[in-house]
Amino acid sequence: MTEAERIDSPDTDDQVPTVRDEEGRLSGEFLTLVETAIADGDAAQLKELVGDLHEADVGDLIETLDADERGPFVQLLGEDFDFAALTELDESVRLKLLEELPAEALAEGIGELESDDAVYILEDLDAENQAAILDQLPYSDRVQLQRSLDYPEESAGRLMQTDFIAVPPFWSVGQTIDYMREAEELPDTFHEIFVVDPGFRLLGSVPLDKILRTKRATKIAEIMNEDAQPFEATEDREEVARSFERYNMVSAAVVDDAGRLVGMLMVDDIVDVIQEEAEEDLRALAGLGDEEISDDFIVTARSRFTWLVVNLGTAILASLVISLFEGTIEAMVALAVLMPIVASMGGNAGTQTMTVAVRALATQELDARNLWRVLRREVLVSLLNGFGLAVLIGVASAMWFSNTALGAVIGVAIVINMIFAGLSGLMIPVVLEKVKVDPAIASSVFVTTVTDVIGFFAFLGIAALWFNLPL
Amino acid sequence: MTEAERIDSPDTDDQVPTVRDEEGRLSGEFLTLVETAIADGDAAQLKELVGDLHEADVGDLIETLDADERGPFVQLLGEDFDFAALTELDESVRLKLLEELPAEALAEGIGELESDDAVYILEDLDAENQAAILDQLPYSDRVQLQRSLDYPEESAGRLMQTDFIAVPPFWSVGQTIDYMREAEELPDTFHEIFVVDPGFRLLGSVPLDKILRTKRATKIAEIMNEDAQPFEATEDREEVARSFERYNMVSAAVVDDAGRLVGMLMVDDIVDVIQEEAEEDLRALAGLGDEEISDDFIVTARSRFTWLVVNLGTAILASLVISLFEGTIEAMVALAVLMPIVASMGGNAGTQTMTVAVRALATQELDARNLWRVLRREVLVSLLNGFGLAVLIGVASAMWFSNTALGAVIGVAIVINMIFAGLSGLMIPVVLEKVKVDPAIASSVFVTTVTDVIGFFAFLGIAALWFNLPL
């Protein structure tokens, strides 16, 4: 949004400061006004400030408020609070906030949501709270939500919206348009309508632009797209996201196991999935669970500790290798000085290859068909970079310790470790995927174990042989 | 897609095998048929096989073919080849393929694309090839494409589509619908129409579902949404993607610096941006540029080498620290055995914190306002996990070397290094962001430097003091 637009905009209220600053963050000035209104219990002022905000902005605002301001904020807004904002919150913040709100207010707020948003909020609650809220909803809403909640976690059924438009194939375009003009209960937004038979089995779909461009007399059956494949409600959301992305989809039908239309998926929900899935790999590679920056420190510490202990195993293994060469090190302490270089260069190179491999597996760019091509490439890359580093490090070490042979030894060890780094960086994720373990979670421990063990063993072992040192 | 649907589908051709297997990969059987058709130069068979495929599937297919099959594949298909498939290819594959195709065929194929796809293909070509293709296009297409290409790389102007529907505010809904039914040149798909004044300045937009639900006599001005903010054509695509994601947008207007409507952005292009941006952080943290799995090994090796050399600096710094304590290690070689444990535990903990910080900065969840809250949390997490690891490692070391004091020394060193890991893991990305350096690219070198240097220094230094060893 440009400055010019903002000023020209006819409905800018001069009393309300800009909500977001130039970098897109909530502005300090706006935040101060909101916090003052909360402290004063001034509901009218608060409504004026945030009444027209988009649910995403309200969500950001809630997260930015102090924990003890959040409950009062929602309660002051009362009926003007859009519960859709809750879907924008980190899970820990949302759960804490939900606990503070009275059950009736909750049921009422959730009842007004689109079904996908309602499910998103309900699914994190424990069974008791879920039931308490569902019980207060009208029968038809309750049945619909319960059906969505019965689908597995992370399935299309959980993501879908249960409001959609379905018409019979023998209707004309004109009839369809008239129906949409008259109908009361329509989804908030939609980009296609669906065509069903009397048993509600999906026959096809028609995008809205097609309807708008077709003469009123034309039958829906003539313009409907029969090729678009629906998703099964039980299908994993990651698969669904991959299809949306691959085929540039905007919305899609969801059917039950009998092929009956039960819901509609929209791209904005899929966008969140795509982002989450890409982030999951990043977090997993760094040994992070699904922690959020708003989690408290005990939860965070516990979730990170497991990873550290697993890595401790790797570190101890490396130490065991070194301890095989205690005599060698005692005889030539320069080896202790240089050995971390060999291990860490291998570790870095292995991590590079592994990251490429993990993502390529996730996006299906790497499979049995091109594995050999990629493997050959990795070996060549390792050799090339290995020789490059070997020369750099070899010369530097030889000069540092005035010992040409030491330079040669570290050079050879580097090349060996780089080759193992490339091989393990590629093959460990591939093998893990093959045995159905998520490569993003488990690869890096194995890869660094290989590069540490090989690095120390190659360097200290070759040195012991070359200089004829004791073990 | 379910098995049942696939069989029911009325236009399934029994001669053509399934294109994708159950896991969504191109099926081997299909691939063999395609490769045979290419080898035989059997254009008719090839057209039968791939003529109806989605551009995304054709793109996948091209990447799976051997490099020398790709040119013949496109040329055999001739006019039946949809150039949109080129937008689905890795850059290196696309550039090589473009070189193989005759300029006229290229110009013709590109001329038939939506403007955003044409720009996507053209922008990677060198100036000469770009000009050669543009010269063969009709004047109006050429001017439009050239205008898009004149916007900065990674801007909204490069992403946008220049075909869209714009109507004056005084038109009725009926007039608008009739216009769309009659108009010849319309975008392939669209989800909203735009409202402009006689100078083509943007006044508002109307989503298609709104048009369909409104009576024909209603004026567009009455139902248009004036609040939706357009993007500037020069705006960075990452900012644009953040807005799309935050506000669940499906399409948006793009205006020039005078506020005139020049294009339309669609969510499917934004989805690619969102995924690329999330992946960029992952790659950057692992020291990878924008390499693709199809790049050749020299390109890959060169792009990874820089990172390895930068990390070599870190490793040498760590070695220098160790060399300060050569005498200490000679006197007590167990220190050399254990020292990598201290450094690597710090490195892992630092990477965890850093990954959280880098993502939180990218998604604007971390800023000056909650920095202290997050910093306090990181220190507490470091202390908690540091003590936990200190006990584990201290006891194990004491038992291994039958030396209680050694266990105590390593325990203290671990706690110290964990605290520095937490602090540097958070503060280094924050400071880099502050001085406008991408935290994803530069953080990990600095963080591991801190954890290596502090780890070796603390452990060897405390040991030297405690056991009164020589340096």
Name the strand (E) or helix (H) holding B206.
Answer: strand B202-207
Is A93 a member of any domain?
yes
Give me the count of residues in chain B: 471
Sheet holding B166-167, edge to edge: B166-167, B192-196, B202-207
Helix axes A297-323, A439-466, angle to 10 degrees: 30
CB B442 within 8 A of CB B373: no
Distances from the Cα of B7 to the Cα of A263, A416, A452, B2, B132, angstroms:
22, 54, 53, 9, 47
Distances from the Cα of A65 to the Cα of A74, B306, B371, angstroms:
12, 43, 14
The amino acid sitting at B158 is R
CB A115 within 8 A of CB A145: yes
Instruction: Give the C-alpha separation, B196 to A320, whole Å.
Output: 74
State the best of A193, A210, A269, A279 to mutate against chain B, taking most chain B CBs within 10 Å: A279
Q: How many CB atoms lie within 10 A of CB B414?
A: 29
Which residue among B251, B285, B319 closes a domain?
Answer: B285
Q: Answer yes or no: do A198 and A152 share one domain.
A: no
Domain of residue B211, CATH code: 3.10.580.10
B271-326 pLDDT, tens per residue?
888 888 778 888 888 888 888 888 888 989 998 999 999 999 999 999 999 999 99
CB B188 within 8 A of CB B55: no
pLDDT of the residue at A33: 92
Sequence-distant (6+) residues with CB within 8 A of B440 are B280, B281, B284, B285, B358, B362
10-residue mean pLDDT series, chain A (471 residues): 39 59 82 92 92 89 90 91 91 88 86 89 87 87 90 93 93 92 80 94 93 92 91 93 88 94 91 83 86 85 93 95 96 96 95 92 84 92 96 97 96 97 96 92 92 97 95 86
Sheet holding A261-266, edge to edge: A231-232, A251-255, A261-266
Q: Would the CB atoms of B341 and A230 count as touching at under 8 Å?
A: no
Residues of chain A with Cβ-Cβ distance to B314 below 8 Å are 344
Task: Specify the 3-state DSSP secondary structure of A65.
Answer: coil
State the best of A264, A280, A337 to mutate against chain B, taking most chain B CBs within 10 Å: A337
Is A290 a member of any domain?
no
Residues of chain B with Cβ-Cβ distance to A230 below 8 Å are 1, 5
Q: Would the CB atoms of A191 and B191 count as touching at under 8 Å?
A: yes
pLDDT of the residue at B15: 52
Sequence-distant (6+) residues with CB within 8 A of B25 are A364, A367
Of B1, B279, B354, nearest to A229 by CB-CB distance is: B1
Residues of chain B with Cβ-Cβ distance to A337 below 8 Å are 319, 322-323, 326
CB A418 within 8 A of CB A386: yes
Residues of chain B with Cβ-Cβ distance to A10 below 8 Å are 226
Q: Answer yes or no: do A264 and A191 share one domain.
A: yes
**What CA dihedral angle connects A25, A30, A32 and A35, to 10 degrees?**
-100
| Closest Cα in chain B to A336 | B336
pLDDT of the residue at A14: 45
Of B271, B337, B360, nearest to A323 by CB-CB distance is: B337
Domain of residue B396, CATH code: 1.10.357.20
Domain of residue B138, CATH code: 1.25.60.10
Q: Answer yes or no: do A250 and A384 share one domain.
A: no
CB A174 within 8 A of CB A217: yes
Residues of chain A with Cβ-Cβ distance to B319 below 8 Å are 337-338, 340-341
Residues of chain B with Cβ-Cβ distance to A275 below 8 Å are 245, 274-275, 278
Structurally, how many domains does chain B consist of? 3
Query: How many pairs of residues across A and B have Cβ atoms under 8 Å apart?
Result: 343
Instruction: Give the C-alpha separation, A306 to A360, whole Å.
Output: 27
Q: Answer yes or no: do A171 and A50 share one domain.
A: no
Distances from the Cα of A55 to the Cα of A28, A41, A133, angstroms:
19, 22, 22
Q: Answer yes or no: do A318 and A455 share one domain.
A: yes
Q: Would the CB atoms of B364 and A177 count as touching at under 8 Å?
A: no
Instruction: Give the C-alpha separation, A216 to A224, whole Å.
Output: 14
Q: Which domain holds residue B78?
A: 3-154
Is A438 a member of any domain?
yes
Q: Answer yes or no: do B448 and B310 share one domain.
A: yes
The amino acid sitting at B392 is L
Q: Answer yes or no: do A44 and A90 share one domain.
A: yes
Q: What is the DSSP string of B285-321?
A: HTT--S--TTS-HHHHHHHHHHHHHHHHHHHHHHHHH
CA distance B374 to chain A (A): 7
Residues of chain B with Cβ-Cβ distance to A380 below 8 Å are 297, 301
pLDDT of the residue at A203: 95
- B142, two tokens: 């050429």
Is B159 a member of any domain?
no
Nearest to residue A116, comparing CAs of A87, A75, A80, A90? A87
State the best of A264, A341, A447 to mutate against chain B, taking most chain B CBs within 10 Å: A341
Nearest to residue B132, comparing CAs of B101, B163, B158? B101
Burial class (CB in 10 A: 0-12, 13-18, 19+), A469: middle
State the best of A246, A283, A345, A376 to mutate against chain B, taking most chain B CBs within 10 Å: A246
B116-166 pLDDT, tens per residue?
899 999 988 888 888 888 888 889 888 889 999 999 999 999 999 988 999
End-to-end CA distance of chain B: 69
CA distance A64 to chain B (A): 8
Q: Answer yes or no: do A120 and A185 share one domain.
A: no
What are the backbone angles phi and psi of residue A100, rounded to the nearest 5°? -80, -15
Q: Would the CB atoms of A389 and B250 count as touching at under 8 Å?
A: no
Of B189, B330, B344, nearest to A333 by CB-CB distance is: B330
CA distance A96 to chain B (A): 18
Residues of chain A with Cβ-Cβ distance to B283 below 8 Å are 355, 359
Which residue among A234, A265, A285 closes a domain?
Answer: A285
CA angle B168/A209/A174 to nearest 5° reads 95
Is A348 a member of any domain?
yes
Sequence-distant (6+) residues with CB within 8 A of A68 are none
Residues of chain A with Cβ-Cβ distance to B318 below 8 Å are 340-341, 344
Instruction: Give the C-alpha separation, A85 to A50, whole Å.
Output: 12
CA distance A128 to chain B (A): 31
Distances from the Cα of B104 to the Cα of B125, B136, B194, angstroms:
15, 7, 35
Q: Answer yes or no: do A304 and A278 share one domain.
A: no
State the best of A11, A271, A353, A378 to mutate against chain B, taking most chain B CBs within 10 Å: A271
Instruction: Give the C-alpha separation, A269 to A271, whole Å.
Output: 5
Task: Specify the 3-state DSSP secondary structure of A272.
Answer: helix
Residues of chain A with Cβ-Cβ distance to B338 below 8 Å are 319
Q: Answer yes or no: do A112 and A196 share one domain.
A: no
Which residue among B98, B129, B154 closes a domain?
Answer: B154
CB A82 within 8 A of CB A55: yes
Burial class (CB in 10 A: 0-12, 13-18, 19+), B169: middle
CA distance A301 to chain B (A): 5
Q: Answer yes or no: do A301 and A425 share one domain.
A: yes
Please report the ipTM that was assigned to this predicted complex: 0.83
CA angle A443/A447/A452 to nearest 5° reads 150
Q: Would the CB atoms of A301 and B242 count as touching at under 8 Å?
A: no
Ramachandran quadrant class, A73 (left: phi over 0; alpha: psi -120 to 50; beta: rest): alpha
Give me the count of residues in chain A: 471
pLDDT of the residue at B7: 36
Instruction: Give the C-alpha separation, A306 to B279, whole Å.
Output: 25
Burial class (CB in 10 A: 0-12, 13-18, 19+), A339: buried
R_g over Cα of chain B: 30
Q: Bridge partners of B231?
A: B254
Q: Answer yes or no: do A391 and A439 share one domain.
A: yes
Any idea what DSSP says for residue A376? H
The amino acid sitting at A124 is D
Residue indicated by tokens 């193992």 = A420
Instruction: Give the C-alpha separation, A150 to B311, whole Å.
Output: 50
CA angle B375/B282/A430 to nearest 5° reads 130
Residues of chain A with Cβ-Cβ distance to B356 below 8 Å are 288, 291, 293
Name the strand (E) or helix (H) holding A110.
Answer: helix A103-111
Task: Specify the 3-state DSSP secondary structure of B201.
Answer: strand
Is A355 a member of any domain?
yes
Is B471 a member of any domain?
no
Is B187 a member of any domain?
yes
Name the strand (E) or helix (H) holding A251.
Answer: strand A251-255
CA angle A15/B225/A249 to nearest 5° reads 125
Of B207, B291, B309, nearest to A189 by CB-CB distance is: B207
pLDDT of the residue at B309: 95
| Closest Cα in chain B to A370 | B64
All residue ranges of chain B with pLDDT < 50 are 1-14
Any idea what DSSP says for residue B32? H
Q: Would the CB atoms of B319 and A337 count as touching at under 8 Å?
A: yes
- A213, two tokens: 């461009």
Q: Bridge partners of B201?
A: B260
| Closest Cα in chain A to B393 | A312
End-to-end CA distance of chain A: 69
CB A241 within 8 A of CB B51: no
State the best of B184, B242, B319, B325 to mutate against chain A, taking most chain A CBs within 10 Å: B319
Nearest to residue B267, comparing CAs of A191, A395, A162? A191
CA angle B391/B397/B400 to nearest 5° reads 140
Residue indicated by tokens 């400061």 = A17
Instruction: Give the C-alpha separation, B387 to B381, whole Å.
Output: 10
